[in-house]
Structure 1
């Protein structure tokens, strides 16, 4: 993991984390490119509106903690990240621990994919 790639991911993911905690679904969507491919735990979407709709449907009080497992600089303006994320809820609901794969292009998330947690060996 290079410092540059980790910094790029941290900048975007810190803003994502803050917008989720504020239930600011338009703020979350603004962190994604206009043509972002988004695959959350529901059917996938393409574009910011799908991202906004997904996060608007999440319960108030949801928060996320994350850790960058791996980061790769694919090009000057493209970073790939493997993220361990733990979503917590205020309501009586167990936390959701997932793995995220994200591609950040020009400072915006261009691809976001959630899968069951797979811890690094």
Structure 2
């Protein structure tokens, strides 16, 4: 698999779960020791991810565009993307997202997630 296809597979699943407001499905995309930095203090592991997304408003949706990909090792891929989060009746939030995904067998999970708001 290419770096692009690996990242799209993971990020498409992330987008789908975020758009569905399904925090447990978002959290299932992360490794047990994932470092997660949303737009507030960081957390570690799927429980932190689920808690973060459970607190997000209903109607939150994400759209992303991959900007760069790098294979760091056979089982590690880095992705850098621009993201726009939309919430009904609010202005969109533009951000950059950096993820490192780790492969185990045929599955890939997010081991590191760092989002930075623009402007």
Please say whether Structure 1 and Structure 2 have the same fold, judged by a TM-score greater than 0.5: yes
The within-5 A match list for 1:1-121 is 4-90=2-88, 92-106=89-103, 107-117=108-118
Report the count of equivalent residues.
Answer: 115
Following the alignment from structure 2 to structure 1, what is the Cα–Cα distance between the partners of residues 116 and 38?
8
Ranges in structure 1 where 5+ consecutive residues have no aligned partner? none
* Divergent runs of 4+, >2 A: none
Report the TM-score when normalising by structure 2: 0.93
Following the alignment from structure 2 to structure 1, what is the Cα–Cα distance between the partners of residues 114 and 21?
20
Report the TM-score when normalising by structure 1: 0.92
Please say if residues 84 and 117 of structure 1, whose CA atoms lie closer than 8 Å, have aligned partners that are also in contact. no
CA shift for structure 1 position 20: 0.6
C-alpha RMSD over aligned residues = 1.2
Ranges in structure 2 where 5+ consecutive residues have no aligned partner? none
- Structure with higher strand content: 2
